[in-house]
Amino acid sequence: MVEKSTKDGEYCVDQSVGDGYVMRECQNDLEVCITKRCFKKCCPEGQSYVGGGTCKDTYVFGMVTENQSYSPYIDDIKDDYEVIYGTGCPKVRLNFNNTIQYRIDQNGTFIYYHNYSESFVQEPVFNFYSYCLEHAEKGSIYGYYLFTCYNFKEIDVKFTHTLWAKIMSCIFLVFTIVIYFLVGETKNTFGKILINYCVNVILLMVTLMVSQIDVLPTRLECKLRGYFIIIFTLASFAWFNIMSLNIWWTFSTPKRMIGSDQKRKELKKFLLYFLYGWGMPISLALLILLLENTAFLPKVIQPYVGIFFCSLENRNYAPIVFFLLPQLIFQVVNTTLFVKTIIYCIKVKNDINRLNDLSKDNGNGKFSVAKERLGLIIKLGIVMGVIWIFEVATAFFTKMHSYNAFTKYLEVVLDNLICLQGTFIFLIFICKRKTFNKLKKRLSFSGQSASHSSCTTQSTSFCPMNKKQNTRTNLDEA
């Protein structure tokens, strides 16, 4: 190799294939792109994408424009061109040929069809955050591809905050599940419902975190993530709906004696809840999959999942019909049940007031139970209603961060509140005196049982009578 390199703006000579030489000139500006066509390379010279959207040393030099997947979309492919190295894209997404209509003209301008505006958009070569060409290797992906470049510098703060909110939410949900098992709350129907809801929200948060971390998924991975998000989001509303229905049903029906027949009825009721909580979202996702792969619906409500974004894409009214409308129906039903339960609690309170003159102690006891139930319903209503309002707000105003500083920070706050719903569940259902007392009794009982077992392995003289009595008393309380 023969090379001569001096200051920036001068030239170097490389030996090419055979006996020829190629002159390469390095410049710090884009003045050359005014007279010649330029292509943008995503990574610096000698680097390419391996296993994701991060540039790594692969010693792949130069760029290949002919006989590639993007070659038919480049005007006058055989003309001379210049290469802009290392455009510094913070985030990229691989574009397959059938997912975007585009071409690169003789001036290096990137022209593509924008689905939201339903028109063609032109981005000059001087715009580094438009497109770039690069060699990529990941799974079945191998070769040169066209990538869309995104400037996420303003949005990174939002995603960083929501990532930690999701992690915190998952941690508190795991704590909720563990504590409910420890205190025996999973023996009743409501405890089983809450466990299913917590598992569903954990799966939703994990799916969102994976989508947030892995920014270069394959087409199949992106589509699967989109459908998982649809299923888990709708399932969270379905299980909230089951919570409301079960609490209203429990409060509005008289207490029955617990027997084998009643236990079978409760198990049958929970199985129906289970089929509804998981079956309805999966059925709706299968319907969306069927409609996506057919031309049955008009384009204005045709669903698209995992083509440009790993979700139900907001390019028409399909998200409103298949995503927000089912959530609205859930909220209407939940609100109705909420109001009916409040009316029931007020009626109980009035009955207690009338009975106070006859039996003060009994009335106070009933009033305390009604007050506790009313507080739980109010907390559930806040979680179900407020979070949904936040989700609708962020869904309709998808570019709040681009309006002004206030809306940018407001979007961060709203997204964090949505992602912290696992923390709210922990505060509502675990941070109660009754639950703490049950957990304390459970842990103290386990400690005393272990102490009693250790004591009985020794001689009887080492076991005081009062220790045995304490253990017996705790067994009765448990």
Q: Examine the domain organization and report whether 223 and 286 are in the same domain.
A: yes
Q: Examine the domain organization and report whether 81 and 175 are in the same domain.
A: no
Q: Examine the domain organization and report whether 359 and 303 are in the same domain.
A: yes
Are the C-beta atoms of residues 422 and 205 closer than 8 Å to each other?
Answer: yes
Q: Examine the domain organization and report whether 298 and 389 are in the same domain.
A: yes
Q: Print the domain residue range for 122.
A: 33-150
Domain-terminating residue out of 96, 120, 150: 150
Supply 241's token pair. 């709906």
Assigned domain for 414 exists? yes
Q: Examine the domain organization and report whether 74 and 180 are in the same domain.
A: no
Say what the pTM is: 0.66
pLDDT at 67: 84
pLDDT at 260: 65
Q: Examine the domain organization and report whether 253 and 135 are in the same domain.
A: no
pLDDT at 472: 34
Assigned domain for 454 exists? no
Domain-terminating residue out of 129, 150, 171: 150
Assigned domain for 437 exists? no
What CATH number is given to the structural domain containing 167?
Answer: 1.20.1070.10
Domain-terminating residue out of 102, 119, 150: 150
Question: 422-460 burial by CB neighbour count: b if 16+ within 10 A, else e?
Answer: bbbbbebbbeeeebeebeeeeeeeeebeeebeebeeeee
How many folded domains does the chain comprise?
Answer: 2
Assigned domain for 458 exists? no
What type of residue is 156?
Answer: D
Assigned domain for 436 exists? no
Tokens 């007050």, residue located: 371
* Low-confidence stretches of the chain (pLDDT beneath 70): 1-24, 26-29, 86-88, 90, 96-99, 115-118, 150-160, 215-216, 251-260, 348-378, 380-381, 383-388, 390-405, 407-408, 445-478
pLDDT at 204: 93
Are the C-beta atoms of residues 442 and 183 closer than 8 Å to each other?
Answer: yes
Assigned domain for 341 exists? yes
